[in-house]
Amino acid sequence: MANLGAIEPGRKAAREPGLDLLRSLAILLVALFHMPLERAPEVLGVAEQCGWMGVDLFFVLSGFLIGSQLLRPYLHNKKPLLWAFYLRRAFRVLPAFWVVLFVYVLVPGFREQPNLPELWRFLTFTQNLGLEAPAAFSHAWSLCVEEHFYLFFPILVLWLMRKPSLGKAIAVAATIFIAGLIVRWIIWAHYLGPIAGDSKNEHLFIVRYWGMIYFPTYARLDGLLVGVLLAGIRIFRPDWWSYAMARRGRVFVMASILLGLAIWSCWDLYSVSAVIWGFPLIALGFGFLVVAVAGLQFRVPGATIGATLAYSTYLTHKAVMHLDRVYLGNLLSVNWLVSLAIYAVSSLIVALALYLCVEGPFLRLRERIISAIRARKSALATAPGLAGS
């Protein structure tokens, strides 16, 4: 997911410590969910049980940040530059993703699972549609959701802002929200409910749940929607945003209540309550959490580096943990604390290497390319006679 990382090079002024903290929290939850710890304390076990929700936090953050990027120009009566947006997204996402993907393809020992979906599904970002887990690099499903969002959301923004109105925005948001509920209910009623609790069809139920509910974009828009709505409020309704900022304590309490309800609803991930209501509750809870911490100015130690390495960590952590189990199995068997340290240190080392060798250089190259294009456009605008040459 492209917003797993911190604010990119060249845009450091836009960094917000509160959002860095949430990015770090999100990747920590995801890593804990995939971390095979044995005999861990109960508190850590709860984190492992609910760690999958970290992806939903990433979705909320992505909707908030991308929504802000595309909506902010309208404050100055301008339209977002789509060429710049898509170029930024491509340089942000693709280089590191392609490197990790081709390691998965060319080095079978790197894979945490023996079966790898077809290469074309990764290259077209359709891997999350009909994905059967477990599979190698299956966690790239969430990157597919993000890519679909990057592709279609700018077009939706242009349409919405042709004749902007609060009612129009609310109608579109309500349609997306209700459509998600209906789609998940229909899938449950026709494909999951009839075989729920049937031990003979347990494997089929699990395959259908992950392939039809958890992975596909059409069922996972709640977090992105909440993030975009928050971005719209922050930009176009600053009084509302200031009102919430002045009551961060109450907002945080509300976030805690909603996330508590979400955890209770989704404790059994395969239940009908989790399928239909779980994702909206999680999205709303994390949305309130974003509001509660967005304006914080103090930096939590480690949050900046965690946010910076989050995307590279996301891409590589499952394979790194697999290699740890293959080559450091004896050390991992000592106790859960040693295992936790090995998994954490090795994942961060590989993520740092990927960031320094691939992600960071391409982000800097991106800024140089965009600056050069803008400089050329500016030169042409100030010298009209050159435009026809």
Instruction: For 9, list phi and psi in degrees, rounded to 5.
Output: -55, 145
Over pLDDT 90: what percentage of the chain? 80
277-328 tens-digit pLDDT: 999 999 999 999 999 999 888 889 999 999 999 999 999 999 999 999 999 9
CB neighbour class for 340 (10 Å; exposed up to 12, middle 13-18, buried from 19): middle
CB 317 within 8 A of CB 351: yes
Domain tally, the chain: 1
In this predicted structure, what is the pLDDT of residue 374?
87
367: pLDDT strictly greater than 50: yes
pTM: 0.92
Residue 359 DSSP code = I
In this predicted structure, what is the pLDDT of residue 162?
92
19-40 tens-digit pLDDT: 999 999 999 999 999 998 877 6
Most confident of 55-64, 292-301, 376-385: 55-64
Higher pLDDT, residue 133 or 311:
311
42: pLDDT strictly greater than 70: no
340-357 tens-digit pLDDT: 999 999 999 999 999 999
- The boundaries of the domain holding residue 230 are 2-387
CB neighbour class for 209 (10 Å; exposed up to 12, middle 13-18, buried from 19): buried
